[in-house]
């Protein structure tokens, strides 16, 4: 599973921003052909994106292109030109404003046709589906199960807030007058449940006040605490904070790996439970430890503690 602690949004029409993005430590970079590109520049931006994917060194980062949504005249040409031109150097397509499973299935079928026509490995290019309106929320279970290419569900908070008439003009902030709990909790959990039920990652949307890193960090901690895999970042100043929030601490990562070692040793001896220090561990412990270990490995963390013999 790809690491998506931070997903950096970059306008696909801006070569200077694209070049800068190559040197930033975000896990994923998506070159945007949708909201970040003016209608008059959309067609030319495709060529800029293709050149950026083919010519630049992305140093192991996940490379994604966000195409325009299906209600626009640009979507199908976005997919065809980008995949035909740079499919070998593309990891996933992000489809915005997904409100129905058929949207993802359309993209899946088109990708398959292009792959077969160009000799690309069938099914290699993944899909990220962005949930941005009330209809998409209602249909999120079907969307999450719509295609084997699907890798992640992504919250699009601005359009979703407008879709449900939420009374705020600040994306990601609590609406004025809402004093009981978190106005976004249901939205975040609904997307997360659909994602996890189908083996997908869940990515939180952006925080728009790029100068307030503390507020970004608070918003990131909220979704990370629920179990989200990462969050969009709109500015380089948000990347370090996002990577830290969505990575396990070194102590937690080491502990998780030790639990997995001890449990594997226990199974090898025919026992279904084990001891690690003073703690008893079982299959539920293994599952919890595996979640932390996988996130640590994806983030490139290294162990600082070795396995302890069970019973010590």
Q: Is the pLDDT of residue 225 over 70?
A: yes
CA-wise closest residue to 21 among 244, 243, 239 = 239
pLDDT tens digits along 143-153: 999 999 999 99
The pLDDT of residue 61? 93
- Out of 20-29, 87-96, 164-173, pick the least confident: 164-173
Tell how far CA 153 is from the center of its chain.
7
Structure tokens at 310: 């069970």
Strand partners for 144: none
Q: How confident is the model at residue 308 (pLDDT cuts 50, 70, 90)?
A: low
Q: List Cα–Cα distances, 41 to 45, 69, 144, 226, 257, in angstroms.
A: 6, 16, 32, 39, 49
pLDDT tens digits along 274-284: 778 878 888 88
pLDDT tens digits along 104-129: 999 999 999 999 999 999 999 999 99
pLDDT tens digits along 163-197: 999 987 778 778 888 878 889 999 999 999 999 99
Burial level of 6, CB count in 10 A (0-12/13-18/19+)? buried
Q: Is the pLDDT of residue 262 over 90?
A: no
Q: How confident is the model at residue 312 (pLDDT cuts 50, 70, 90)?
A: very low
- Between vectors from CA 3 to CA 211 and to CA 190, what angle results, nearest 5°? 80
What distance in Å separates the CA atoms of residue 216 and residue 233, rounded to the nearest whole number?
Answer: 9
- Is residue 110 within 8 A of residue 143, CB to CB? The reply is no
What distance in Å separates the CA atoms of residue 309 and residue 234, rounded to the nearest whole number?
Answer: 46
Strand partners for 281: 274
pTM above 0.85, yes or no: yes
């Amino acid at each position: 599973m790809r690491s998506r602690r931070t997903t950096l949004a970059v306008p696909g029409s801006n070569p200077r921003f694209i070049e800068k993005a190559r040197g930033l430590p975000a896990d994923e970079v998506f070159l945007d052909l949708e909201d970040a590109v003016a209608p008059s520049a959309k067609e030319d931006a495709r060529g800029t994106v293709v050149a950026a994917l083919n010519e630049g060194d992305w140093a192991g980062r996940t490379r994604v292109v966000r195409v325009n949504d299906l209600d626009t005249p640009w979507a199908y040409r976005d997919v065809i030109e980008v995949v035909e031109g740079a499919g070998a150097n593309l990891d996933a397509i992000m489809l915005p404003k997904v409100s129905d499973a058929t949207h993802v299935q359309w993209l899946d079928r088109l990708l398959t046709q292009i792959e077969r026509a160009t000799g690309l490995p069938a099914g290699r290019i993944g899909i990220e589906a962005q949930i941005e309106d009330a209809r998409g929320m209602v249909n999120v279970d079907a969307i999450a199960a719509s295609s084997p290419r699907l890798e992640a569900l992504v919250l699009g908070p601005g359009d979703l807030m407008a879709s449900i008439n939420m009374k705020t003009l600040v994306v990601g902030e609590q609406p004025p007058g809402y004093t009981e709990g978190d106005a976004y909790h249901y939205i975040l959990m609904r997307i997360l449940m659909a994602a996890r039920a189908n083996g997908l990652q869940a990515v939180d949307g952006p925080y728009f006040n790029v100068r307030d890193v503390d507020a970004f960090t608070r918003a990131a901690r909220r979704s990370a605490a629920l179990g989200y895999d990462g969050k969009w970042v709109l500015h380089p100043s948000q990347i370090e904070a996002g990577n830290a929030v969505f990575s396990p601490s070194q102590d937690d990562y080491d502990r998780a790996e030790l639990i997995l070692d001890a449990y594997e040793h226990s199974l090898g001896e025919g026992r279904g439970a084990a001891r690690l220090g003073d703690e008893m561990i079982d299959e539920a412990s293994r599952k919890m430890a595996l979640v932390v270990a996988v996130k640590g490995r994806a983030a490139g963390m290294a162990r600082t503690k070795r396995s302890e013999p069970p019973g010590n």
